[in-house]
Amino acid sequence: MKKFKRHLITSALPYANGPIHIGHLAGVYVPSDIYTRYLRLRGEDVISICGSDEHGVPITLKARKEGITPQEVVDRYHKLNKKAFEDFGILFDIYSRTSNKIHYDTASEFFRKLYDKGEFTEKVSNQYYDEEAGCFLADRYITGTCPFCGNENAYGDQCEKCGTSLNATDLINPKSAISGSAPVLKDTLHWYLPLDKYEPWLKKWILEDHTEWKSNVYGQCKSWLDQGLQPRAVSRDLDWGVPVPVEGAEGKVLYVWFDAPIGYISATRELTPDWEKYWKDPETRMIHFIGKDNIVFHCIIFPSMLKAEGSYILPENVPANEFLNLEGDKISTSRNWAVWLHEYLQDFPGKQDSLRYALCASAPEAKDNDFTWKDFQARNNNELVAILGNFINRTLVLTDKYFNGTVPVPGALTDFDKSTLDSIKSLKEAVETNLDTFRFRQALAEAMNLARLGNKYLADTEPWKVIKEDEQRVKTILYISLQISASLAIILEPFLPFSMDKLRKWLSIDDLRWDAANNKELLKPGNKVSSGELMFSKIEDEEIERQIQKLLDTKKANIAATATVIPQKEDVTFEDFSRMDIRTATIIEAEKVAKTTKLIKLKVDTGIDVRTIVSGIAEHFTVEELPGRKVAVIVNLAPRTIKGIESKGMILLAEDATGHLTFMTAEEAIKNGSPVK
Ligand SMILES: [Zn+2]
């Protein structure tokens, strides 16, 4: 591999219209943080850049919906997301934002340079215009009927019901989301980046010169290039964004896909006056960490922009991940199907590393993967607690017990001791090889193998037995166990920064160089070690069940919210209806019908009499909560015998799409026996 002088790590700018969830963390930010920390430990010159992407139509739509300004929307999520990253130990050198002045300046200059060089083409096209509001309508501002499925609330770019991509002009009966009026088509001028012009160059640069890129990334690029590239508009008619810096372009802003990646450059400018050496010196290695939805922007469009500008370097690698699903379903902000970072920390305070670990261990590196709470619990309890935490704890407790917390002087090493020490080196190298090629899951597995090795070493050498007859031998055993612990403190630092920070304090290690992990004398005899606490704690079943219940509740709420109402039954006459005698009543007693799961035997005061009614509601109500409930009863329903009990009448309930039942009750207190009509 070519040796570079420095590294520029960028992580996809999260869109500032919602909080960060575990899918973002697993796909982009955990890997970028691991990689950055690893390069730092190796003593490399590295900067890590991120920030909020604060332009685009969804933000203006959200602002309109909530009756606030777009700036207020982005201020809220920028603050929330910046804090979430800090809380999880994702260390960016800068977390900037695209609404900053420095970004407006940088993006305008970039556009202007391409404009002056004649890199854009201009084209007049027909777009929808809202005459009442006096503005052009972006796709998301137009709703109408989907020509494919008949959904009346399809957007101008997509029908969310059938998933079809649309053009605004495809919609039947288009309507402006601003004024509600029917929009008219009007000519508008825009600038385009002729991507087709860069196609031959991109083919060589990616398909021939970067065959080492991850196969999911390479494959997606190849398919885009095989389909052929089209010119892409870089401007839009909108009032939220970086104004197009050209005379006569009033009311037009840079399209968000053009402005957002330039955000990496502005953030670097904000960070350091030396920013050009990170962006323009070919001895800098630029790596983009992104999710798969961003591959086309970072592998095809942004490189074409940089190439057109002419003075910038290109990314050396783009290790994009696939998507993480949650309990078998696609993560979705609008359906609230996610684990939000700020909520996780409320439920699992201090357990950042448990989540970082679980997300890295099952990261969607080559294909989509699923996060489940049960798997999260198993990773924490069976791996972090039982393997890593257990080894560290035993080593420190025994050192404290036998040698007052002092690293002992080793005696002669057996062949087993020597091969164990050699394994530190080979495992460290395996971690390195995998990190160098962006295989974070495998790197973590190899690092954990070092903890497994430590556990096995203790189990095989049994110092707690040997201490009775051979103290010198135990000195050697614990000396080696402590060397393994010290190596873990460095090798696992990129993955588990909070826990390894603790471990380094317990071991009094301040040497934080990657290569020190290979040093058999990382901990010198005579050094003091100590630990008063456990590194990880078990996560109990109840905590996991609470999280699963939370998701089940979300699922139910989603079903209820989106369910279509069942169609009306055929007409009945007023006489038909009048024959039914419905009365207000009160439940007096309730008991479960033996040997059934659904039936409850009720004693009901109907005002006419007190009678027995058998009702199939045992899965929805407990017998304790029923007495005293006001209900409505069809009192003249012919009696039926159910499980040997004569049931006289039927209690009325409403049922929603999830099967949830609720009693029909008079809104005000009313005497039992009052007719319902
Ligand atoms: Zn549709």
Q: SS3 letters for 224-283?
A: HHHHCCCCEECEEECCCCCECCCCCCCCEEECHHHHHHHHHHHHHHHHCCCHHHHHHCCC
Neighbours of 619 (CB within 10 A): 10
- The DSSP secondary structure of 339-353, one letter per residue, reads -BHHHHHHHSTT-HH
Average pLDDT, integer, range 525-549: 93
Between the CA of residue 58 and those of 17, 64, 127, 177, 234, what are the distances in Å? 7, 10, 19, 12, 17
- In the structure, what pLDDT confidence band is assigned to residue 161 with cuts at 50, 70 and 90? confident
Structure tokens at 91: 């260390």
pLDDT score at 1: 58
Instruction: Tell me, rounded to whole angstroms, the distance of Cα 281 from its chain centroid.
Output: 34
pLDDT score at 522: 82
Under DSSP, is residue 380 helix (H, G, I), strand (E, B) or coil? helix
Give the number of other Cβ atoms within 10 Å of residue 354's Cβ: 25
Which 3 state secondary structure label does DSSP give 378? helix
Rounded Cα gap, residues 104 and 259, in angstroms: 9
Amino acid identity for residue 289 in this structure: F
| Residues paired with residue 127 on neighbouring β-strands, in sequence order | 186
Neighbours of ion ligand 1 (CB under 5 A): 146, 148-149, 151, 159, 161-162
Q: How many CB atoms lie within 10 A of CB 659?
A: 10
The one-letter amino acid code at 251 reads G
Side chain identity at 467, as an amino acid letter? I
Confidence label for 132 from pLDDT (cuts 50, 70 and 90):
confident
Taking the centre of ligand 1 as the mean of its atom positions, its distance from the CA of residue 13, in whole angstroms, is: 30
Q: What is the pTM of this model?
A: 0.85
Task: Calculate how far, in angstroms, residue 172's C-alpha sits from the geometric centre of ligand 1.
Answer: 11
Question: How far is the centre of ligand 1, averaged over its atoms, from the C-alpha of 235 (Å)?
Answer: 27
Q: Report DSSP letters for 566-587, one per residue.
A: PPPPPP--HHHHHT--EEEEEE
Please check whether residue 254 is in contact with residue 235, taking contact to mean a CB–CB distance below 8 angstroms.
yes
Q: What is the CA(145)–ligand 1 centre distance, in A?
A: 8
Look at 104 and 559; give whichever has higher pLDDT.
104
How many CA atoms, within 13 angstroms, populate the side-chain half-sphere of residue 166?
30
Provide the pLDDT for residue 297.
94
For residue 171, how far is its CA from the centre of ligand 1 (angstroms)?
Answer: 10
Relative to beta strand 284-289, strand 6-11 is parallel
Q: Which two tokens stand for residue 478?
A: 């614990």
Q: What is the mean pLDDT of residues 121-139?
A: 88
Mean pLDDT of 389-408: 96
User: Alpha-carbon distance 617 to 600, whole Å?
Assistant: 7
| Distance of CA 53 from the midpoint of ligand 1 (Å) | 29
* Average pLDDT for 124-149: 88
The alpha carbon of 183 and the centre of ligand 1 are apart by a number of angstroms equal to 20
What are the tens digits of pLDDT across the range 190-220?
999 999 999 999 999 999 999 999 999 999 9
Q: How confident is the model at residue 65 (pLDDT cuts 50, 70, 90)?
A: confident
Q: Which residues have CB under 8 Å from 163's CB, separation 6+?
A: none
| Ligand 1 centroid – CA 303 distance (Å) | 34
Categorize the per-residue pLDDT at 135 as very low, low, confident or very high, splitting at 50, 70 and 90.
confident
Measured in Å, residue 163 CA sits from the centre of ligand 1 at 6
Task: Give distance in angstroms: CA of 150 to centre of ligand 1.
Answer: 6
Per-residue confidence (pLDDT) for residue 178, from 0 to 100: 83
Coil vs helix vs strand at 217 = helix
Cβ contact 527:406 at 8 Å: yes
Question: Does the pLDDT value for residue 516 go beyond 90?
Answer: no
| Distance between Cα 286 and ligand 1 center (Å) | 41
Residue bearing the bigger pLDDT, 519 or 360? 360
Rounded distance from Cα 142 to ligand 1 centre (Å): 14
Taking the centre of ligand 1 as the mean of its atom positions, its distance from the CA of residue 560, in whole angstroms, is: 21
Phi/psi of residue 591, nearest 5 degrees: -145, 150
pLDDT digits (tens, 9 = 90+) for 282-293: 999 999 999 999
Residues 318/288, Cβ–Cβ less than 8 Å: yes
How large is the average pLDDT for residues 437-444?
97
Q: Quickly state the pLDDT bin for 162 (edges 50, 70, 90).
A: confident
| Biggest CA pair distance of the chain | 103
Q: Is 125 helix (H, G, I), strand (E, B) or coil?
A: strand
How far apart are alpha carbons 35 and 293 in whole angstroms? 21
What does the CA dihedral 213, 217, 219, 221 come to, rounded to 10 degrees?
A: -100
Question: How far from 579 is each of 263, 406, 574, 636, 676, CA to CA, in Å?
Answer: 72, 92, 9, 9, 12
- Type of residue found at 124: V
What percent of the chain is predicted at pLDDT more than 70?
100
- Measured in Å, residue 129 CA sits from the centre of ligand 1 at 23
Distance, CA 325 to ligand 1 centroid (Å)? 24
Under DSSP, is residue 617 helix (H, G, I), strand (E, B) or coil? coil
Q: What is the three-state SS of 37-66?
A: HHHHHCCCEEEEEEEEECCCHHHHHHHHHH
According to DSSP H, which parts of 471-617 are helical? 471-491, 497-507, 541-562, 574-578
Mean pLDDT (whole number) for 270-279: 97
How distant, in Å, are the alpha carbons of 373, 436, 540 from that of 376? Answer: 5, 26, 11
Q: Residue 159 C-alpha to ligand 1 middle, in angstroms?
A: 5
Q: How high does pLDDT run on average in the chain?
A: 94
71: CB partners within 8 A, 6+ apart: 99
Label residue 661 exposed, middle or buried (CB < 10 Å: 0-12, 13-18, 19+): middle
pLDDT tens by residue, 608-630? 999 999 999 999 999 999 999 99
3 state DSSP class of 354: helix
Q: 201 or 555: whose pLDDT is higher?
A: 201
CB-based contact 46:83 (threshold 8 Å): no
Torsion over CA of 139, 145, 150 and 156, rounded to 10 degrees?
Answer: 0
Are 87 and 341 within 8 A, CB to CB?
Answer: yes
Q: How far is the CA of 156 from the centre of ligand 1 (A)?
A: 11
Confidence of residue 248 (pLDDT cuts 50, 70, 90): confident
- 445-464 confidence digits (pLDDT tens): 999 999 999 999 999 999 99
**Cβ neighbours, 10 Å, residue 224:** 19
Residue among 525, 541, 482 at smallest CA distance from 507: 482
Per-residue confidence (pLDDT) for residue 480, from 0 to 100: 96
259: phi then psi, degrees, rounded to nearest 5 = -80, -35
- For 291-320, how does the pLDDT look when each residue is reduced to its tens digit (9 = 90+)? 999 999 999 999 999 999 999 999 999 999
Per-residue model confidence as pLDDT tens digits over 467-514: 999 999 999 999 999 999 999 999 999 999 999 999 999 999 987 899
CB-based contact 472:412 (threshold 8 Å): no
